Structures are given as C-alpha cells and as structure tokens.
Amino acid sequence: MTAPNTCPCGTGRAYAHCCGRWHGGPLHLQAPDAQALMRSRYSAYVMGLHDYLLATWHPGTRPTALEPDPPGLRWLGLDVRGHWRDDATHERVEFVARHKLGGRAHRLHEHSRFVREEGRWYYVDGDIA
C-alpha cells in the first residue's frame, strides 16, 4: 500500500511526521507513549502492516500471526477518548475505531492496556466496551 499524505490516525499531520516515523523508523525510534503507539497501531491496521502490529504487541499476549483483512474492509476513522498514565511503565488508552465491511458500519470501542519494557511501549490487551 502506498503511504498516505495525511496520517490515518486522525491527528491531521503528515503521515511521514506522525505514525510513519514509527512504522519505518529504526529500533531506537519508538513511540514516546501509549497513545502514540495506539495511534500508530491503528494506522498499521489501515495500511495492512501486520509485521508492525506483531512487533508492538507484548510477547506475553501476542498471537503467533494475524489473519489477513477480509476483502472490502475499509477503516473510517479513529477517536481517542482518553489516555491515562498509571505509572512510569503502565498506561491505558480508550478509543473508538470505525470501519465498514460488507456495506455495514462497525465500531470497536476498547479500553487498552500498554506496558513499557526496556524503553519500548507494547500493546498488552484490551476490554471491549
């Protein structure tokens, strides 16, 4: 997929200066907090970057592989509802991601948990609201 001009995560910034720097950056260049990581993961879903999704998923909860996206899946937008820092290594993000499949609109409303290990943030898991 060709990189978009505007980042899919909804910040309004250029992709290259937003989630694109995390997607294609060197290992030392990591999302600075859980919200930035969550936004970059949403953009990765939009762009089909499954390797990035797996690399940013905590090894303790990460699946071995991700299923290919169903044909016709179209991501419509992201709304970050909240971002909380529990301590220096644990943060939470609430978001709603909208998509369309088979002519029907869907929403994923999740309260996600993130952990920071060795300087890197990882998605751990989430509760569907």
| pLDDT per position as a tens digit, 7-55 | 999 999 999 999 999 998 765 568 999 999 999 999 999 999 999 999 9
Tens-place pLDDT, residues 43-96: 999 999 999 999 999 999 999 999 999 999 999 999 999 999 999 999 999 999
Domains belonging to the chain, first-starting first, are 15-128 (3.10.450.50)
The predicted structure's pLDDT at residue 27: 58
Q: What is this structure's pTM?
A: 0.93
Q: Kindly report the average pLDDT of the chain as a whole number.
A: 93
For residue 126, is pLDDT > 90?
Answer: yes
Residue-wise DSSP of the chain: -PPPSB-TTSS-SBGGGTHHHHHSS-TT---SSHHHHHHHHHHHHHHT-HHHHHHTB-TTT--S--PPPPTT-EEEEEEEEEEEEEETTEEEEEEEEEEEETTEEEEEEEEEEEEEETTEEEEEEEEE-
